[in-house]
């Protein structure tokens, strides 16, 4: 007879939704168990956000060596090289530090942990296959935090060594000489640019009519210029049909608007989206929508006492959204009257230049029927950007013309990822443009661009000509 563990709350999945939920439950005094089969910290910490940003940083630093000559600093061309093995060791050190920290935090907050593969046997029961045998678990409250995985497309199996998903690509110890990226969304763009900076020849194939579908047209225009400058060919409105081994690597067949072409490469990176890990949930009885678990603003599913957070629950498939839901879910389980009523989930793309949005983009606001005013400030007008030699891009503030409230902010440029939080706060607090414009921003900083953009939307910018 297998051992039976009984807990007030059980969480399945220790990713960026599950582990914050467990920590908060522990802080609230709820008897909690969190189960994880492989990665403490989930995809993000282990094979996603963190390792990709480590390698993206390395790629940017390597490329920036070319800029040093303009500053009077010279490094002989022959002394520049990338040791992928050392780069992977450095990346893995960061990952290990963070994932170890997750286990430490769970223990410190009195949340129990269990390593194993969970199988749902009912809405409040499951079995876990551990290294020591099967364990039965019963829970008054069950939280599904099982995450997502990359989508595989026909003809490109991840089981083949030449075909990479994001996980395999981030673990490469040898740089592919030629890389075809299928998918020109944010993951494909991030990783395609990263490999190009490290030295690979990169080609991007995107089925939609544009890279970065859904982003501001001004952002897409700027990114297309950047790709052209970086010598990254892009085929939009095109579909990868299949591939085969050739005399020198692989040959990928692509249907373009002008007919079928072939692309020679050493590896193919497929980044066409992610799908929820919702298989096996039948026993819980929860309602699904296209594979995603349906939840309300309290993370409750259609079954009492069963909750879901993160990618498996749909919506923006972003780590910070998962964390917010995990914390809300913990409050609800503990009996608090908490709701997820966030006005915005900011999004960041770690391309070059970086892209970040909070609230509505200009085209989204217009599509929703708003009459808008916009203020656009190029980073080339910001002193601090000039001193860093990163002047590509802009800040665009979108206002409701009726009352000057901030509907959204789009940033494309240096450190957009760091700057967007002020914009998210402005949207969240329903701020007016003057709330940003009358806030003194320190000089010289990149953050001045946000203030100047808000002022430009009001027609009172100082450092750019008002439109």
Active site residue 443: yes
- Say if residue 243 is in the same domain as residue 258: yes
Tell me, yes or no, whether 60 lies in a domain.
yes
Q: In this predicted structure, what is the pLDDT of residue 2?
A: 63
Q: Where are the alpha helices (DSSP H) in 41-139?
A: 42-47, 49-64, 84-108
Domain that holds residue 241: 163-270
359: left (phi over 0), alpha (psi -120 to 50) or beta: left
> Which residue carries 């530090």 as its tokens?
97
Cα–Cα distance, 257 to 331 (Å, whole number): 52
Tell me which DSSP letter residue 334 carries. T
Q: Could you tell me which residues are beta bridge partners of residue 22? A: none
- Say if residue 386 is in the same domain as residue 281: no
3-state secondary structure of 10: strand
Q: In this predicted structure, what is the pLDDT of residue 79?
A: 83
Single out the residue in 270, 304, 322 at which a domain terminates. Answer: 270
Segment 243-271 mean pLDDT: 96
Tell me, yes or no, whether 464 lies in a domain.
no
Strand 249-256 with 239-246, pairing: antiparallel
| CB of 327 closer than 8 Å to CB of 24 | yes
Tell me, yes or no, whether 154 lies in a domain.
no
| CB of 398 closer than 8 Å to CB of 410 | yes
Span 373-382, pLDDT tens digits: 999 999 999 9
| CB of 227 closer than 8 Å to CB of 204 | yes
- Say if residue 252 is in the same domain as residue 358: no
Segment 62-82 mean pLDDT: 89
- Say if residue 226 is in the same domain as residue 303: no
Tell me, yes or no, whether 46 lies in a domain.
yes
| Percent above pLDDT 70 for the chain | 100
- Say if residue 411 is in the same domain as residue 428: yes
Q: Which of 392, 390, 403, 405 is nearest to 454 (CA)?
A: 405
CATH label of the domain that carries residue 377? 3.30.390.30
Span 200-232, pLDDT tens digits: 999 999 999 999 999 999 999 999 999 999 999
- Say if residue 109 is in the same domain as residue 216: no
| CB of 239 closer than 8 Å to CB of 180 | no
Report the sign of the C-alpha dihedral through residues 265, 266, 268, 269, in that order: negative
Q: Which of 311, 287, 417, 405 is nearest to 355 (CA)?
A: 417
Cα–Cα distance, 200 to 306 (Å, whole number): 47
Q: In this predicted structure, what is the pLDDT of residue 331?
A: 98
Single out the residue in 299, 333, 367 at which a domain terminates. Answer: 333
Cα–Cα distance, 459 to 467 (Å, whole number): 7
Cα–Cα distance, 455 to 467 (Å, whole number): 11
Span 398-450, pLDDT tens digits: 999 999 999 999 999 999 999 999 999 999 999 999 999 999 999 999 999 99
| CB of 160 closer than 8 Å to CB of 322 | no
Tell me, yes or no, whether 342 lies in a domain.
no
CATH label of the domain that carries residue 188? 3.50.50.60
Please state the φ and ψ torsions of residue 406, each to the nearest 5 degrees.
-75, 115
Segment 69-73 mean pLDDT: 91
Residue 284, pLDDT above cutoff 70: yes
Q: Indicate the helix (H) or strand (E) that contains 194.
A: helix 186-198
Question: Residue 76: pLDDT band by 50, 70, 90 thresholds?
Answer: confident
Q: In this predicted structure, what is the pLDDT of residue 38?
A: 92
Burial of 194 (C-beta count, 10 Å sphere; 0-12/13-18/19+): buried
- DSSP-derived secondary structure for 427-456: HHTT-BHHHHHTSPPPSS-TTHHHHHHHHH
Cα–Cα distance, 369 to 248 (Å, whole number): 54
Span 318-333, pLDDT tens digits: 999 999 999 999 999 9
Residue 1, pLDDT above cutoff 60: no
Q: In this predicted structure, what is the pLDDT of residue 247?
A: 85
Judge if the upstream peptide bond of residue 440 is cis by omega within 30 degrees of 0. no
Q: What is the chain's mean pLDDT, rounded?
A: 97
Question: Catalytic: which of 141, 324, 443, 463?
Answer: 443
- Say if residue 38 is in the same domain as residue 179: no
- Say if residue 282 is in the same domain as residue 145: yes
Measured in whole angstroms, how far is the alpha carbon of residue 275 from the centre of its chain? 14
Segment 152-178 mean pLDDT: 97
Single out the residue in 333, 361, 381 at which a domain terminates. Answer: 333
- Say if residue 258 is in the same domain as residue 371: no
Cα–Cα distance, 439 to 432 (Å, whole number): 12
Tell me, yes or no, whether 115 lies in a domain.
yes
**Tally of structural domains, the chain:** 3
- Say if residue 25 is in the same domain as residue 117: yes
Residue 316, pLDDT above cutoff 60: yes
Neighbours of 431 (CB within 10 A): 18
Q: Which of 258, 363, 219 is nearest to 211 (CA)?
A: 219
Cα–Cα distance, 228 to 230 (Å, whole number): 5
- The per-type count for the chain, helices as H runs and strands as E runs, is 13, 24
138: left (phi over 0), alpha (psi -120 to 50) or beta: beta
Tell me, yes or no, whether 10 lies in a domain.
yes
Tell me, yes or no, whether 213 lies in a domain.
yes
- Say if residue 265 is in the same domain as residue 303: no
Cα three-residue angle 441-444-445, rounded to 5 degrees: 65
Q: In this predicted structure, what is the pLDDT of residue 419?
A: 98
Q: In this predicted structure, what is the pLDDT of residue 80?
A: 87
Cα–Cα distance, 310 to 42 (Å, whole number): 11
- Say if residue 444 is in the same domain as residue 352: yes
Judge if the upstream peptide bond of residue 132 is cis by omega within 30 degrees of 0. no
Q: Which of 114, 71, 267, 273 is nearest to 187 (CA)?
A: 273
Please state the φ and ψ torsions of residue 76, each to the nearest 5 degrees.
-55, 140
């Amino acid at each position: 007879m297998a051992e039976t563990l009984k807990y007030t709350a059980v969480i399945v999945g220790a990713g960026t939704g599950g582990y914050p939920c467990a920590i908060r439950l522990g802080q609230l005094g709820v008897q909690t168990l969190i189960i994880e089969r492989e990665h403490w910290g989930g995809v993000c910490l282990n094979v996603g956000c963190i390792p990709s940003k480590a390698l993206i940083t390395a790629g940017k630093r390597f490329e920036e060596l070319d800029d040093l000559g303009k500053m009077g600093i010279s490094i002989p061309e022959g002394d520049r090289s990338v040791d992928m093995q050392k780069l992977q060791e450095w990346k893995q050190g960061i990952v290990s530090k963070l994932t170890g920290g997750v286990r430490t935090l769970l223990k410190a907050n009195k949340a129990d942990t269990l390593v194993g593969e969970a199988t749902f046997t009912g809405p409040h029961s499951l079995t876990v296959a551990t290294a020591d045998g099967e364990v039965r678990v019963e829970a008054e409250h069950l939280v599904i935090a099982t995450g997502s995985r990359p989508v595989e497309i026909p003809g490109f199996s991840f089981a083949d060594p030449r075909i990479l998903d994001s996980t395999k690509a981030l673990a490469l110890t040898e740089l592919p000489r030629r890389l075809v990226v299928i998918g020109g969304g944010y993951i494909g763009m991030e990783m395609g640019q990263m490999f190009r900076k490290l030295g690979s020849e990169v080609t991007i194939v995107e089925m939609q009519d544009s890279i970065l579908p859904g982003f501001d047209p001004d952002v897409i225009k700027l990114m297309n210029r950047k790709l052209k400058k970086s010598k990254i060919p892009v085929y939009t409105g095109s579909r990868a049909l299949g591939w085969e081994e050739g005399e020198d690597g692989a040959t990928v067949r692509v249907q373009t608007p002008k007919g079928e072409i072939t692309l020679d490469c050493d590896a193919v990176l497929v980044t066409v989206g992610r799908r929820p890990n919702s298989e096996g949930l039948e026993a819980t009885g929860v309602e699904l929508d296209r594979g995603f678990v349906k939840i309300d603003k309290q993370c409750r599913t259609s079954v009492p006492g069963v909750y879901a957070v993160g990618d498996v629950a749909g919506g923006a498939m972003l780590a910070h959204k998962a964390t917010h839901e995990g914390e809300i879910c913990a409050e609800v389980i503990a009996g608090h009257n908490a709701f997820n009523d966030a006005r915005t989930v900011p999004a960041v793309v770690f391309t070059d230049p970086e892209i970040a949005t909070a609230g509505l983009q200009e085209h989204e606001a217009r599509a929703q029927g708003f009459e808008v005013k916009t203020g656009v400030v190029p980073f080339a007008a910001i002193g601090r950007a000039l001193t860093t030699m990163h002047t590509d891009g802009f800040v665009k503030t979108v206002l409701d013309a009726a009352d000057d409230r901030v509907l959204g902010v789009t940033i494309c440029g240096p450190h957009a990822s760091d700057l967007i939080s002020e914009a998210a706060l402005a949207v969240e607090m329903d701020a007016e443009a003057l709330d940003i414009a009358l806030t003194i921003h320190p000089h010289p900083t990149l953050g001045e661009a946000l203030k100047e953009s808000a002022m430009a939307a009001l027609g009172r910018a100082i450092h750019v000509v008002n439109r």
